[in-house]
A and B are shown apart, each in its own frame.
Chain A
Amino acid sequence: MSAAVATGRALQLRGCHVCGAVSHERQGPCCPRCRAPVSGHLAGSIGRCWALLLAAAVLYLPANLLPIMRTHTLFATRQDTIFSGVAELWRNGAWDLALIVFVASVLVPLVKILSLAFLLVTVQRGSAHHAVARTRLYRLLEFVGHWSMLDVFVVGLLGALVQFDIFAQVTPEPGARYFGAVVVLTMLASRSFDPRLIWQGVAATATTPGDTA
């Protein structure tokens, strides 16, 4: 497939991310239709993305190691981390929900952090390989990111539901705070990453047929 494509950069055009209108660079820093700031490329985005990503990675540890919920019953008090919550669901026979919670709360943030790190490294090295696949990876990250909020909702709901004095009580624990922070930071990190950077390496070199279509 011929790779003679015109990029916005080459033609000095840019598309508005709010209203979709295409305008010329000389028309100023704002979109003429909706006055949203329009940029060619987010200059500081790599640094900002790394900062947010590292913060998320650091908080990922307490989020998973600290308990997010404490349960008092007549017989015992137990503290649950995300892992033990999943194990509890599994033991009670709710394999499908255990899997969903595990994927949403443990895997998704981890995969997001690792994938964004991968994308950043390949962009910084000017890699031109598998640009289509990397773009698809980014779109996937955008899509699944917010599902990690699941555990924060569950902890809040259970805490409000189970308030039966000495018989049963559920109290949210600090781990949930770190967990919410990880979700927010990973979402901000993926929003600050400019996917067009993936294609800078491709445009600069001679186009390889495998990268298009």
Chain B
Amino acid sequence: MPQPSLVICAYCDVVHRRVEVTRRTAACCCRCGSPLYRGAGLSVDTTLSLALTGLVLLVLANIYPLMSISLAGRSNAVTLFDAVATLQHDGLPGAGLLVAVTALLAPVLQLLALVYVSLALRLQHRPRAFLAAMHALRHLGTWSMVEVLLLGVLVAVVKLSGMASIAPDIGTWMLGLLTMTLTLLCADDRRSLWAAADALAPRDARHWVSA
């Protein structure tokens, strides 16, 4: 399987020869110590199953309320959509958009892109929008902040616990699982996806420099 045999440190520009590294070990730059790559990342199959799981969890996290509150005999339950709508409604459309993008759009597009790519590769077919999807994944990863939302829910619960009867709901548990799934997916450098795609497009492969 074609594999680039050189690696350049993104932080200090030093050129390294790629050496195979075992699982759970990372290769670091010899000059600045920044991580270069890790041993055996996620396989195509694992990526696909995690991404599908993530999608299901994300849908559930948004259908079910994140928290429910009771005060003075009345109750209210809140989903992520409600939070975005509140910000929009109260004159903060920019903040509402920011929340919608970081907590919903970016994660959903990330997961869809991963499903699209890994499913096609699993079926031995290099998807037409493969490059576009891989490029998009780099950006989406930066703007996906599901774990911050989870902490936000926790803070909100504690803030109101003195004033009302409040508890996290099913949506929050789904959110917790989603956070774990996304963390696993984002830590991966997608080598198996690139390698599988290279194997399916021999014309385009082998244009990079080998030592």
Contact = CB atoms under 8 A, between A and B. Distances in A.
Interface of A: 3, 5-9, 11, 13-15, 17-24, 27, 32-36, 73, 85, 88-89, 92, 94, 97, 100-101, 104, 131-132, 135-136, 138-139, 146-147, 149-150, 152-164, 167-168, 171-172, 174, 176-177, 179-181, 183-184, 187, 191, 195-196, 198-199, 212-213
B interface secondary structure, majority: mixed
A167 B156 CA distance: 18
Contacts, number: 225
Nearest to A5: B14
B7 A15 contact: yes
B83 A160 contact: yes
Interface residues of B, number: 71
13 contacts: A5-B14, A7-B15, A8-B15, A27-B207, A32-B208, A139-B11, A146-B145, A157-B83, A159-B87, A159-B90, A163-B76, A181-B94, A195-B11
Interface of B: 4, 6-15, 30-34, 37, 66-67, 69, 71-72, 74, 76, 78, 82-87, 90-92, 94-96, 98-99, 102-103, 131, 134-135, 138, 142, 145, 148-149, 151-156, 158-160, 162-164, 166, 189, 191, 194, 198, 204-205, 207-209
A9 B160 contact: no
Nearest to A207: B31
A142 to B, nearest CB: 9
A22 B7 contact: yes
Contacts of A156: 83-84, 86-87, 95-96, 99
